[in-house]
Every structure is written in C-alpha cells, then in structure tokens.
Amino acid sequence: MTGSGTVFVVAIDGPAGSGKSSVSKEVARRRDYGYLDTGAAYRALAWHALAHEADTSDAASVIDILGDFDYAISLDPDAYWVRVGDTDVTAAIRETRVAEAVSGVARVPAVREAANRLFRQLIAESGRAGVVVEGRDITTVVTPDAPVRILLTAAPEVRAARRSAEVTTQSAAAVAEALHRRDAADSTVVDFLTAAPGVTVVDTTELDFDQSVDAVLGVIATVEEQQTGATHGR
C-alpha cells in the first residue's frame, strides 16, 4: 500500500497555521492510528545544532552534527514526546530560536534524505494499522504512494491568526511576519502550497477544528470505500 508493509498511511502536507498538526493528531486518535510529526525531526536537529553552537546557515556544519544526532519520537498521539539522546526536547523545539533555525537545517539535501529514510522506518515499524504522517513533502517525497494524500491549507490571514493564538509571547504582527518568513524560506526547499496530482485539497479557512477533522476523516472514508469497491469488483 505504501512501501511500508501493510501500514495504512494518511499523508498530510500543508503550511504552518493550517491546522495540520492538531488535525492530524486528532484524526490519528479517532482512527487509533499512529501520529508522526515529521517537522519535529528538523526542529530537533536545529535544537541539536544550536546546542553544539553549529552554524545552521552552513551546510557542512549541519552535516557534521548530523553524525551524532540521536533522535527518537513517540507515535502515540496521546503520549507525544521528542528526545535527542537522553534529553526530552518536546517543549524546547517549539522555542522561537529553534523555529528560526529550522529552515537552515531542513534545506540541506543530506539532512532531508536521512530524515526521509527515518520517517519511512518509523512508519514501517510503528506496529499500528495506520499512521497519520504530517509535514511539508509527505505526499510527494516521503510517502508518494500513500492511499490517502491530503494538502491541508488555509488563507494566509487565517493561518497567522491561528498561530498568533498559540504563541502568547509575541505580538500578532510579529507572529504573522515570522510565519511569512518561514513559508518563504521553506518554499525554496519544497512546494507545500500546491497540491500534486492525486492529492486532495482540504481548505480549512472557513472550518473550525471539528469540521477540519471531519473533512479529513471524510477523505479517508472515501478512499476506503473506493478500495473496497475495487476489491469486490475483481
């Protein structure tokens, strides 16, 4: 189904503030699936680089610290944690200084290749019937053959407002500017604003949280019906 054994993969891409993480986690809960936040790996590597005082704008420096990057993440949506070595960095990787360094490490091809191998391994070894995988290039690079591929998006002003509600230490204007910078930087690495062929767009601009979750569950249900119909039609 996905190149990961019998694991049913729901691949969700989208920009920051689209509701990607919260919606993906809730969908995983309702389906009793695993939840894989791929962005956490890049954030954790950025944290690791900063801890080693590495220059995240220099690819060679980033590759140097990749060698001893001991990364682990929980796929349980109800017991989510991220670790680097023995250090729990679940909260630390959400800090502003880490967010500002993420694009620097994520743009390095060797980093993305290593991360993609890790993601596929985590999916294959999840022990779950399915995994909801969310990030930037999940539908096109990480699991391009996933049975469910979704681009979750929303209008820029709505995304900025949502992120501002999450970040209480910055003004709305500062959050919006940071969101714009992140989108601009990340878009040089991967196109996460345009749906690839075969990818379903779920626009959450006019949807609340529960409606967004229901919309994604609806896409999954449609795919399952199509697969059942195809099986019975043989």
Residues making up the binding site for ATP: 14-22
38 three-class SS: coil
3-class DSSP assignment, residue 155:
coil
Cα distance between residue 95 and residue 42, in whole Å: 13
Structure-block tokens of residue 91: 């909260």
Q: What is the distance between the alpha carbons of residues 43 and 72, in angstroms, rounded to a whole number? A: 12
Contacts of 109 (CB under 8 A, 6+ apart): none
Query: Residue 46: which H helix or E strand, with range?
Result: helix 39-51
Mark the binding-site residues, compressed into ranges.
14-22
Tokens of 216: 């994604």
